[in-house]
Amino acid sequence: MVQRQLPNPVELLELMKFKKPELDGRKRRLEGALTIDDLRLIAKRRTPKAAFDYTDGAAEGELSLTRARQAFQDVEFHPGILRPAPTVDTSVEILGGPSALPFGIAPTGFTRLMQTEGEVAGAGAAAAAGIPFTLSTLGTTSIEGVKAANPHGRNWFQLYVMRDREISYELTRRAAVAGFDTLQFTVDTPVAGARLRDKRNGFSIPPQLTLGTIINAIPRPWWWFDFLTTPKLEFASLSTTGGTVGELLDAAMDPTISYDDLAVIRDIWPGKIVIKGVQNIEDSVRLRDAGVDGIVLSNHGGRQLDRAPIPFHLLPEVRKAVGDDFTVMIDTGIMNGADIVAAVALGADFTLIGRAYLYGLMAGGRQGVDRTIAILRSEIERTMRLLGVSSLAELEPGHVTQLTRLVPVNRAAAEAHAR
């Protein structure tokens, strides 16, 4: 028989430690977010539907985004054993400069509509973490404003070539004067993709009030208070606004952009230039031979051509085709630090996060972006330790198997195309 006794209050106090309550609501909810998916759920609760769906959604049936995320989930890691990695080095050299982590913040448009701190929060968080921040042509903070928020860190600029070429040329010159070191020349947006969530929500710039938006806003007064009591939205390239996002893009973008435009921009831009939106092996090789500094394998987060190639699936063959000395970056679908580790193992020099950053921004402003970076950093470090590697340079294709659910019907034809 087990001997029983009355509980000793002193012993109970030793066993039970009550957690001090956190009175700061923002800090409390962000500390409770353990994954990017957790931040996404907080963001969804706190942001009006139209603004959240603009961030969360993709084109048409959203197959490109779903497949990109699934591709990262369909990864099998192969850890080494008895290879101690008590500390890990997550730093990289990318495009002539350092980054403390193998990812940077991707360009996102209309960012202050997601949360009023917008690009200033992203640039400040990037500066604190020692990673690059990318400002979009359609950003809602000026080039000079981002420089002020990240005066000593690495700022990159994403460029659309617009119908009025002089607008694009002037933006390029301003970014150079402000000390931005890398230009992302974006090529996958000759016209806007069909972003059906935006159309169904009636999402426009500036936001148009309807009975539905008012009802949706009632439980989110903090968003509207921030929106209405902070400076008017300003765009890096648009002097006038009005209409849906798709209409704005179609009015600004030019479907006739070509290698001739790339040549003009290269003459203007003094820093590194990478081509964003590359989606096949042939273009990757051609751009390498054209002398650009690198490429970003991307289908624009699934927001342009639905059923587009999956960047993560393209990565190994592109790396093989362009060789080891050419910079290859990747975005689209990254929701976990393990996704980033897998991409580096299969040949990516660097990765970019878009939605993951915006989920943190919507969940808690600058602190939310800091939380996004902290979550990804922790996942990267833990995955590396479990794989038995101490630095990113030790990652190799043997650490990863890409499992696939999408197999071409005519495999021979697909393999011939890849060659």
DSSP string, 188-244: S-SS----HHHHHHT-BSSPPP-HHHHHHHTT-HHHHHHHHSSPPP--SS-S---SB
| Residue 198 belongs to a domain | yes
pLDDT at 413 over 60: no
Helix axes 259-268, 165-177, angle to 10 degrees: 30
**CB-CB contact of 337 with 386 (8 Å):** no
Q: Considering the domain boundaries, does residue 417 fall inside one?
A: no
- Could you read off the pLDDT of 33-85 as tens digits, one per residue? 999 999 999 999 999 998 899 999 999 999 999 999 999 999 999 999 888 88
Q: Which DSSP helix (H) or strand (E) runs through 76?
A: strand 75-77
Average pLDDT over residues 266-272: 97
Residue 412 domain-assigned? no
Q: Please check whether residue 129 lies inside any domain of the structure.
A: yes
Q: What pLDDT score was predicted for residue 275?
A: 98
For residue 234, tell me if it sits in a domain: yes
Query: CB of 372 within 8 A of CB of 108?
Result: no
Structural domain of 341: 27-406
- pLDDT category at 191 given cuts 50, 70, 90 is confident
Indicate the residue type of 303.
R
**pLDDT value for 81:** 87
Mean of pLDDT over the chain: 90
Beta carbons within 8 Å of 13's beta carbon, 6+ residues apart:
none
Find tokens 């759920």 and name the residue. Answer: 41
CB-based contact 92:350 (threshold 8 Å) = yes
- Count the neighbouring beta carbons within 10 Å of the beta carbon of residue 245: 20
**pLDDT at residue number 168:** 92
Rounded to whole angstroms, what are the CA distances from 358 to 119, 122, 143, 159, 325? 10, 9, 19, 20, 32
Question: What's residue 152's pLDDT?
Answer: 95
Examine residue 278 and state whether it is found in any structural domain, yes or no. yes
Which residues, 6+ apart, have CB-to-CB distance to 234 below 8 Å? 140, 141, 142
Cα 277 to the chain's mean position, in Å?
A: 13
Q: Alpha-carbon distance 58 to 65, whole Å?
A: 7
pLDDT digits (tens, 9 = 90+) for 221-238: 888 788 788 887 777 666
Tally of domains within the chain: 1
* Percent of the chain at pLDDT exceeding 70: 91
Report in angstroms the alpha-carbon separations of 129 from 84, 136, 361, 374: 26, 20, 15, 9
pLDDT of 205: 61
- Cα–chain-centroid distance for residue 148? 22
Contact call for residues 287 and 196 (beta carbons, < 8 A): no
Going by pLDDT thresholds of 50, 70 and 90, the confidence category of residue 321 is: very high
pLDDT of residue 410: 65
Q: What is the CATH number of the domain that holds 126?
A: 3.20.20.70
Residue 411 lies inside a defined structural domain of this protein = no
**Does 253 have pLDDT greater than 90?**
no
- Lowest mean pLDDT, pick from 21-25, 203-207, 271-275, 357-361: 203-207
Asked if 300 is an active-site residue, the reply is: yes
| Residue scoring higher pLDDT (238 or 148) | 148
Q: Which residue, 407, 403, 419, is CA-closest to 70?
A: 403
| C-alpha distances out from residue 395 to 101, 105, 341, 384, Å | 14, 22, 8, 8
Q: pTM of the predicted model, to two decimals? A: 0.91
Helices 355-387 and 36-46: crossing angle, nearest 10°? 160
Beta-strand pair 400-402/75-77? antiparallel
pLDDT of amino acid 3: 85
HSE of 39, CA atoms in CB hemisphere, 13 A: 30
Is the pLDDT at 193 greater than 90? The verdict is no
**Residues of the chain with pLDDT > 90: what percent?**
68
Residues 46 and 220: beta-carbon distance below 8 Å: yes
- pLDDT level of residue 320 (50, 70, 90 thresholds): very high
Answer whether residue 266 is part of any domain: yes
Name the catalytic one among 78, 152, 300, 399: 300
DSSP state letters, 85-132: -SS-B--EEETTEEESSSEEEPP-SSHHHHSTTHHHHHHHHHHHHT--
Tokens representing 265 are: 């921009």
* CB contact burial 291-319 (16+ within 10 A = b; e otherwise): ebbbbbbbbbbbbbbbebbbbbbbbbbbb
| Ramachandran region, residue 178 (left: φ > 0; alpha: ψ -120 to 50; beta: rest) | alpha
Q: Mean of the pLDDT values across residues 18-39?
A: 88
- Letter for the amino acid at 389? V
pLDDT in the model for residue 365:
96
Determine phi and psi for 221, rounding to 5 degrees.
Answer: -65, -30
Name residue 105's beta-bridge partners. 133, 353
